[in-house]
Chain A
Amino acid sequence: MTAAVDTVGTTASGDRVSLLRVLGPAHVWALGVGIVLVGEFTGWNFSADKGGSLAALIVCWVVGLLYTSVAMIDSEVTSTVAAAGGQYAQAKHIVGPLMAFNVALFLVFAYTMLEVSDAILLGDTIVAKAGVDGLTHNSFIAATIVVLAWLNYRGVLMTLNVNFVITAIAYVSIVILFFSVSPWTQGAVLKLNELVTPGNALPYGWIGVIAAFQFGIWYYLGIEGTTQAAEEVRSPARSLPYGTMAGMITLLIAAAMTWYVCASLMPWEYLGITPYPLWDAGKLTGSPLLENLLFVATLLAALASANGCINDAARAWFSLGRDRYLPSWFSAVHPKYRTPYRSILFLLPIALAFAFIADLNQAITFSILSGVLQYTFMSINIMMFRRKWPLGSIRRGYTHPFHPLPAIVLFCLCVVTYFAIFLGFGSQLIAMVAFYFLISLWFHFYRYKFVRRGDQFSMPWPKPQGY
């Protein structure tokens, strides 16, 4: 069986059809950055709440290192295991079915909760802008999730073309804001020296820096989503590493600019709790143009992110159905639009339910937790990949340098992040791990009997070393 056969699903009538290979590097960039860029518009700033403004900057760079490791590792494995489901397909070929099942769930919940966060942000931003008494965010949240699910139902190319445009607009708005506030001059608009002082830079000390790792993840969470499009990319070995690395560089620049402007415009106590720091930054410049630009950009970033999240979560769920890890009913591909429509529709009410019950920081924490569990897996996965198939034994689209340093760095930073989440959000951490533990027991002792064993290994590789 070849990787190409992996792209096949079935229609409701039983016909076998495949996902379309229509995407290029720009779409990969748009998928990755589109999902993540909303992190600059909300979420990262909660790290200031946990540790102060300086802690938010420190974690911006340190977590950037974590994600650089993620991008390097992911580019190698994905350019070699180019199949829908991204890290799920990697886990299936390198670690085993139960790990693959968990990784797919990590992806689904990281993206679904990120989608929930996006919808809450969008709703809250519109309500705040409207300033109408009694107006709630519920209708905006519902409309966002339902309309984007419909877009995804209709087709991946249209979805990602939309993402490319709105992501670019949102990114440009950050650049415009940055250059509009004369970043090279302090005192005129920006007042970093007066807002971040020796007395308040690290209000909780270094423990606050550690605690801030939790939301520092939000600067970049989801960049690894580029791999979800592996089966729909025309040239995975070239497009995936190129799109992912370009996306990471884009985000590092955006994160640095965002921190500098926001920390120079508002006290850390406010920065740490506002749902829309960049829009607030636009307001505080005193320019109506910037205020409105950042308002629109906040909405666009939330839309782009939610759009990409639905795309990725549905593909991970689809992969689970196709391999019978979940009922095969989910593996249906729409006969006309060639999308995993049942998976899209199934995840829709789950997203809606959480959007109505969770707060923004709770939804973000669920997403971050699933992301960190996934990164922990990735650090071990690459070690196993290199051990089972050493360099030269199979053709790799890309080989990342300095192995095993990125894996070790990634693993250590994941451990720090677990401790960071424990500091303040321990109950959610326990709830999430309990969920994955329970569902793993269910899979291993019951559901796995429906899985065809040999079919789980579809790459044309030699037998792994040690087996």
Chain B
Amino acid sequence: MARYTPPEQGKAGQIFDIAVVVVTIFVALWLPLKLGLAGAAKSIDALDAKTWEALGQNATMASIWGKLGYTPETAHDVIQNRFHYVTDWPTLIVMAIVLIAYFVFLFRASDREYREVINEKFNDK
């Protein structure tokens, strides 16, 4: 196999590529944060009676909440802020397909590149 000679990249090209990487980072990762799409999917199960008993706290727990500076009223939103684990199957299946497709692409495309590397390194021996 003939030795591959890559093109030299000028300064403008390098700057452009750095910009592409930075933009991709911020669009894919920073934007979801900015738009509030990231973070825990929790919601508060509000209770009418805001007492330690209603909040499911025994005497020891209530005394510790007290040491931490909480009253039943202020602890309510902490204690009742819960995850609601419902498996959204269509979303889960889509996510699984995306993950599997990503890894399949990674390994297959890498293998094509790797064969070029090995062929050149070992001169097709």
Contacts and interface: CB of A to CB of B under 8 A. Distances in A.
A376 B106 CA distance: 12
Interface residues of B, number: 72
B99 A453 contact: no
Interface stretch (A66-74, A132-140, A241-249, A323-331): A323-331
A350 B24 CA distance: 12
A380 B122 CA distance: 24
Contact of A376 (B40, B61, B103): B103
A155 to B, nearest CB: 25
B interface majority secondary structure = helix
A361 interface: yes
Contacts of A422: 91-92, 95
Interface string B94-108: 010011001101110
A350 B55 CA distance: 42
Interface in A371-419: 376, 380, 418-419
A331 to B, nearest CB: 11
Interface stretch (A56-64, A157-165, A426-434): A426-434
A433 B102 contact: yes
B25 to A, nearest CB: 7
Interface in A439-467: 439-440, 442, 444, 447-454, 456-457, 463-464, 467
Contacts of A437: 98, 102, 105
Contacts of A122: none
B107 A95 contact: yes
A267 B9 contact: no
A295 interface: no
Contacts of A428: 32, 38-39
Interface string A183-221: 000000001001101011000100110010000000000
B47 interface: no
Contact of A453 (B9, B21, B32, B116): B116
A interface majority secondary structure = helix
Interface in B21-49: 21-22, 24-26, 28-30, 32-34, 37-42
Interface residues of A, number: 84
Contacts of A329: 14, 18
Contact of A467 (B6, B58, B107, B118): B118
Given A427-B32, A449-B7, A457 B38 contact: no
A300 interface: no
25 contacts: A95-B110, A97-B113, A99-B110, A100-B110, A267-B65, A353-B30, A358-B33, A359-B39, A380-B107, A422-B92, A428-B32, A431-B29, A432-B28, A435-B28, A437-B98, A437-B105, A442-B20, A447-B17, A448-B113, A452-B4, A452-B6, A453-B119, A457-B117, A457-B118, A457-B121
Interface of B: 3-7, 9, 13-15, 17-18, 20-22, 24-26, 28-30, 32-34, 37-42, 56-58, 60-61, 64-65, 67-68, 70, 75, 78-79, 81, 83, 85, 87-88, 91-92, 95, 98-99, 102-103, 105-107, 109-122, 125
Which 3 pairs from chain A and chain B are nearest by CB? A96-B110, A435-B28, A96-B114
